[in-house]
Amino acid sequence: MPPKQDFSLREIKPNIDGGKTLTPNMLTLVEPLYFVYVKVVRASHLPVNQATGTCNPYVEVKSGNYKATTKYIQGTLAPIWNQVFAFNKDRLQAKNIEISVRGKVSVTNEIIGSIEVGIGDIPTRLQGDSSMAPQWYGLEDKNGVSGRSGNLMLAIWVGNQVDDAFSLAWHLDAASVSVDKVSNARPQVYYSPRLWYLKIKVNGAQDLVVSDPNRKPEVYVKATLGNKVLKTKVSKNKGVNPSWNEELMFVVAEPFEDALILSVEDDKGDNMVDYLGKCVKPVHKITQRLLPPLPSEEIISLERYGVVEGPMEKFSSKLRVTIYLDGVYHVFDEPALFSTDLKASSPKLTPGKVGDLELGILKAEGLVPMKSKNGLKTTDAYCVAKYGPKWTRTSTVVSSLEPKWMKQYQWDVLDPCTVIAIGVFDNNNLQAGEGWATDRLIGKVIRIRLSTLEFGRIYKYAYPLVALMPDGVMKMGELHFTLRFIYTKGSGDKMYQYTQPLLPKPAYTNPMSVYQIDSLRNQAVRHIAMRLARAEPPLRREVVESMLSGRGPVWSIRRGKANFQRVMECLKFFKTALIWLDDLRQWKNSRTTIVMFAVFSVFVYYSEIIIPSFFAFLFLKALRNYFKRPRDILCLDTNLSQVESVNTLDWQEELDTFPSSAPFEDLRLRYDRLRAIGYRIEETVGDLATQLERFHAMFSWRDRRATLIFTLFCLVAWMVFYLVPFRLLFFLFGTYLMRSPRFRVTLPPIPQNVFRRLPSRDDCLL
């Protein structure tokens, strides 16, 4: 039996100062990494190869086992490269860096000239200094004579990961990466495009020209934007002046490149459509709704399909629509529970900044190999973080199961009740000829809610990377990071922030359905994925979808059990209170029962203190829990996730594709089990329906005697509650409830007997 894996959160102690001291590199949440940067600028006065009569120079930079080359430039004696190489200083074992200019020929690449620089003599560039000025170096020939083989312009310095050249450099740790793929290993910052809802309210049409005047047309409006098509229903007005009053919605992204095509069509049946007219509106020319007032309706002239109108001829059909880019809503690109941004699309409705979020991505440990390379199992890992529209991507550490990134990022926070998402991925696009491979997610995306963080505290944790596998849950490694949320507003603003609605006000005054939001969210994810895939290096589609998408539309018995467990945990307090009350009624501890009855009597006599006492109890309870408040961030809970209560078949069902790709026998087994689960749910809902129908039957006179008993009881209760003080009745009820067990009977009470005899509609079911 394999050892049980540890999925707990672990606190770490990285060597950081948190900004307590003024350090030259300005790194507060990560440890500094030092690199030797070599910037190869250009060469001059290179000699001509005597055999070929030309010079095809390139530069080779080498230190110990690390070696990389620039691109070669054909047929020039004064090439320009402007390439930067970076050596991790901690991994350098040699004392010198050799820089050679070589000529690319068919058989051997001859050395034109070389330079050797001692690592101890390289100056250090501090953060805030200007860029290091390059200078000319004379190339030494084979005999060690300088200047005969031309000159090379270089800049060499020692800097850290905050250096301007870090993101542009070719890191020699990734020397095995193909030249044309090296950009895929570089760090980068991306921004999601601004998303808008494009709303088309189709009101009606006028003076349509149909092909058959004797037939009642079945007219609808079709809206086309890119490859997305939406249609209205067929108008109920079967004539040439139809009306719809329907709203169609798309998601569009800036800059607006597509055109909206509205067409009026007549459905003639048998897949026959009569095109009555169309209009084309470029999206960038559509009115933007930046504030709550709605734009006015416009009347658009329709063009006939395939007809060229003369200068004196105008097509008279019109379409009455209201088209606008709605900026007063928030366009969801993530699940509502995991939103990293809640602001409206309109820049005029953007709330003010309330704080700063700082994230330090340190390293990963114990990563599971994701692929084989040259017979060795390895991983090329990089980390992606998203908050709001800003995405960050670290560099790719090649062939390492314990990569170090030490990158620090910062975001502006507009609302503290949002979530930051962090994911670790394996880069499969580093070698030439591999084509368009898929970057795989290593473990579950980490999501941390900012409102659960203490202001100003630096959280330093090793977070487990967990993945669902066909044979269960597997730990894929640990991500080490630091996190700090600084609230820049005053205490009053913190309280005021919690009184405001999460979403823009139109989301409550004119809400959209859950189904509509989910459908539009899928469009938003596609827009962001397409736009970020255009960047260099691209943030790949599968990465964007993994960071933005929640759980897919699949059944999971494990999650069903987990959600039930969540409900029971929330109701645990009420369950405990009922058990305690039953213990009082059963006199299991006579002293406690007598004391509580005395307290009850005081509350009855001084009834005005009941509500104040209730809120005092809640206050003291919350105050007591303050000293036991959780100090760690929320992490994976294996007990809550029910990972120990499912078998292999359950995991295979949860990880199956949608639609399913499982064999027939597995599908039949799952279906039979689902029928059994559905039967239990059906019985539970049926029992609930029976109780509710019995409640309604008390008033319906379906069972005349039972309703008569209930009616007479209501009459007696009316008179008793009118004549007898409520305080006395409440005291008598409490006394009867807490009477000694020797005065009790085990039979059900009379009201319960009457209620159970009431009829329900079970007899009416087929």
Q: Which two tokens stand for residue 347?
A: 């820049």
Q: Could you give the C-alpha distances from 339 to 323, 335, 550, 688, in angstroms and in order?
A: 28, 6, 11, 35
Q: Could you give the C-alpha distances from 46 to 39, 58, 565, 608, in angstroms and in order?
A: 19, 11, 75, 100
Q: Which residue has the tokens 């409102």?
A: 451
Q: Which two tokens stand for residue 642?
A: 């029910």
Return all residues near 66 (Cβ < 8 A) that are at least 6 apart. 87, 91, 92, 172, 173, 175
Our CA angle for 735, 740, 746, nearest 5°, is 105
Q: Which two tokens stand for residue 261?
A: 């095509």
Distance CA 59, CA 735 (A): 96
Q: 368: helix, coil or strand?
A: coil
Q: Which helix H or strand E contains 111, and what residues bound it?
A: strand 110-118
Q: 711: helix, coil or strand?
A: helix
Side-chain-side CA neighbours of residue 638 (13 Å): 19
Our CA angle for 521, 524, 525, nearest 5°, is 90
Ramachandran assignment for 306, one of left (phi > 0), alpha (psi -120 to 50 degrees), beta (any other): left
Q: Which residues of the chain have pLDDT under 70?
A: 1-3, 20-26, 50-53, 105-109, 147, 305-315, 432-436, 550-553
Distance CA 173, CA 378 (A): 14
At 242, the amino acid letter reads: P
Nearest to 139 by CA among 124, 151, 131, 121: 151
Q: Which two tokens stand for residue 649?
A: 């078949």
Contact predicate 16/31, CB 8 Å:
yes
Contact predicate 161/179, CB 8 Å:
no
Q: Which two tokens stand for residue 369?
A: 């190999």
Q: 356: helix, coil or strand?
A: strand
pLDDT at res. 314? 56
Phi, psi angles (nearest 5°) of residue 612: -60, -35
Rg (CA), the chain: 36
pLDDT at res. 315? 54
pTM, two decimal places: 0.86
- Is the C-alpha dihedral spanning 611, 612, 613, 617 positive or negative? positive
pLDDT at res. 550? 64
Q: Provide the residue count of the chain.
A: 766
Return all residues near 423 (Cβ < 8 A) that are at least 6 apart. 383, 384, 385, 441, 445, 446, 543, 546, 547
Q: Which residue has the tokens 């569009």?
A: 252
Diameter of the chain by CA atoms? 123
Distance CA 148, CA 55 (A): 15
Nearest to 425 by CA among 407, 445, 399: 445
The helix/strand count (H/E) of the chain reads as 13, 31
Contact predicate 497/354, CB 8 Å:
yes
pLDDT at res. 306? 59
Q: Which two tokens stand for residue 741?
A: 């067990």
pLDDT at res. 411? 94
Distance CA 80, CA 72 (A): 10
Nearest to 188 by CA among 533, 469, 488: 533
pLDDT at res. 171? 84
Distance CA 200, CA 229 (A): 13
Contact predicate 720/668, CB 8 Å:
no
